[in-house]
Amino acid sequence: MDAFSEILSGVKLNGAVFFTAEFSAPWGFSTPASRQMAAKVAPGAAHLVLYHLLIEGGAVIEMEDGESIALVPGDIVIFPHGDPHHMSSGKGTRPPFPNYGITAKIKARDLSPLRAGGGGAISRFVCGYMTCDPHLSRPILDGLPSVFKVNVRTDPSGHWLEGSILHLVEESVSGRVGSEAMLAKLSEALFVDTLRRHEPPMTYLTRWRLQLAAQSLKKTSRGIAEIATDIGYESEAAFSRAFKREFGQSPGRYRSDHKGVANQNGQRTHGIGGNVSVVE
């Protein structure tokens, strides 16, 4: 299994498209923090990753800290930590923006395009989300900024994903059986494809293996050198340096600080990664 697949195999992703729009300039809307969005689109989700895929026209993303990102057709912009943001036609628009009936369409799970705006240049886009366990996904999420964009039209696979999503959005509006389930899977594929384009797989692999090592330090009495070897380090010293960069403390100190936390219920664990067993 390649490095990137190894990481994603331990992260359960569930995705969906929840909103499509065809807006004419000037236009704009605001998206709250993901914990508020979750109640509308994915009740009970532990963590929500939001994205917008621009199909046609232009748009501008504005973060609450003032960061601004211009989008062109084919750009997908992702918010790994669910930060609140504004999306608009840009020039001449300022929040607060009208709701345009967006909330009602989301609650009704209506994927027909919402058409609104001031009558100018047209922008078309699709909005979606991914749900995941924030702890299992930490090696991926922690390495990502609050917002980033990738253009999916740089190769055939990206074109295929974009076209397939648009086709299935149309199918779901027409009520064709199974369209929403397929759309969810394609949404997940789009998210994975975007991550592949943005960060080197080895970065994820390193973080993932260090997370496994941290779990073993907390839950077992295995030696540090043994744990280092298990996750691919040739020496305990190299492992210790990498571990300290990731967690801010040495493996020994980390183990001391977390000693007993995993045994509060009178259990002791052995093994690492997917081979953990519980001994009463």
Q: Is the pLDDT of residue 11 over 80?
A: no
135: its two tokens: 């702890």
From the list 155, 167, 174, the residue with the least C-alpha distance to 126 is 167
Residues β-bridged to residue 254: none
Task: Among 5-9, 11-15, 128-132, 152-156, name the one with the lowest average pLDDT.
Answer: 5-9
Q: What is the DSSP letter of 145?
A: -
Per-residue pLDDT, averaged over 134-162, amounts to: 83
Query: What is the reported pTM?
Result: 0.70
pLDDT per residue as tens digits for the range 43-52: 888 889 999 9
At 201, is the secondary structure helix, strand, or coil? helix
- Choose between 171 and 262: higher pLDDT: 171
Name the token pair of 72: 């062109």
Checking if the pLDDT of 83 tops 60, the result is yes
Q: What is the dihedral of CA 257, 259, 264, 267, to 10 degrees?
A: 150
Tens digits of per-residue pLDDT, 156-200? 888 988 998 888 888 888 877 888 888 888 888 888 888 878 776
CB count in 10 Å sphere of residue 187: 24
Torsion region of 189: left, alpha or beta (phi above 0 gives left; psi -120 to 50 gives alpha): alpha
CATH of 3-199 among 2.60.120.280, 3.40.50.300, 2.30.40.10, 1.10.10.10:
2.60.120.280
* AA identity, residue 45: A
Residues of the chain with CATH 2.60.120.280: 3-199
Measured CA to CA in angstroms, residue 118 lies from 27, 66, 89, 123 at distances of 7, 25, 10, 12
Residue 2: per-residue pLDDT = 60
Measured in whole angstroms, the distance separating CA 89 from the mean position of its chain's CA atoms is 25
- Collect all residues with Cβ–Cβ distance below 8 Å to 174 and sequence separation of at least 6: none
CATH level 3 topology of 202-262+269-275: Arc Repressor Mutant, subunit A (1.10.10)
- H-state helical runs in the chain: 3-8, 34-41, 102-107, 138-141, 156-174, 179-198, 201-219, 224-230, 236-247, 251-258
Range(s) of the chain covered by CATH 1.10.10.60: 202-262+269-275
Q: Residue 272 pLDDT > 50, yes or no? A: no
